[in-house]
């Protein structure tokens, strides 16, 4: 800490103040009277207010749609036994839906209604 003597010779703690312009904490002697700006800032050139820089340009690219997966219906032995069974059922169901489309639609609507789905 810094201690100073005043006019009567009494010891007191030094007075420090913050300049409003440069934001430095300076002793009270660096200020003129009750001014909030230090003498160095008053004597120096006036600085221009900072301007904000433009943000960097961001290029946004839309992702290309994922490639459509081709079912492996013709490949024998690819995958787990359960996977191959599901694939066989799906292929048979698609063929049945093509051959008997009206009956398939009626059965599908009935199954959806029993599950509480809209038909």
Predicted TM-score (pTM) of this structure: 0.29
Residue 73 lies in a domain: no
Domain membership of residue 33 as a residue range: 12-43
Name the most confidently modeled range: 9-18, 28-37, 83-92, 106-115. 28-37
Q: Could you give the angle at which helices 81-99 and 101-114 cross, rounded to 10 degrees?
A: 120
pLDDT value at residue 18: 92
pLDDT band at 25 (very low <50, low <70, confident <90, very high): very high
Residue 24 lies in a domain: yes
Domain count, the chain: 2
Q: What tens digit of pLDDT does each residue of 54-81 get?
A: 777 777 878 777 777 766 665 666 667 7
Residue 110 lies in a domain: yes
Q: Where are the alpha helices (DSSP H) in the chain?
A: 39-43, 81-99, 101-114
Residue 11 · residue 3 · CB < 8 Å: yes
Half-sphere exposure of 55 (CA within 13 A, CB side): 3
């Amino acid at each position: 800490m810094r201690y100073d003597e005043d006019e009567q010779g009494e010891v007191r703690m030094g007075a420090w103040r913050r300049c409003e312009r440069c934001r430095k904490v300076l002793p009270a002697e660096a200020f003129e009277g009750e001014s909030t700006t230090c003498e160095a800032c008053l004597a120096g050139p006036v600085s221009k207010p900072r301007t904000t820089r433009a943000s960097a340009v961001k290029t946004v690219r839309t992702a290309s749609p994922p490639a459509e997966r081709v079912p492996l219906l013709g490949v024998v032995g690819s995958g787990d036994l359960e996977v191959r069974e599901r694939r066989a059922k799906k292929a048979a169901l698609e063929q049945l839906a093509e051959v008997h489309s009206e009956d398939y639609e009626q059965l599908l609507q009935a199954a959806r209604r029993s599950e509480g789905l809209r038909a």
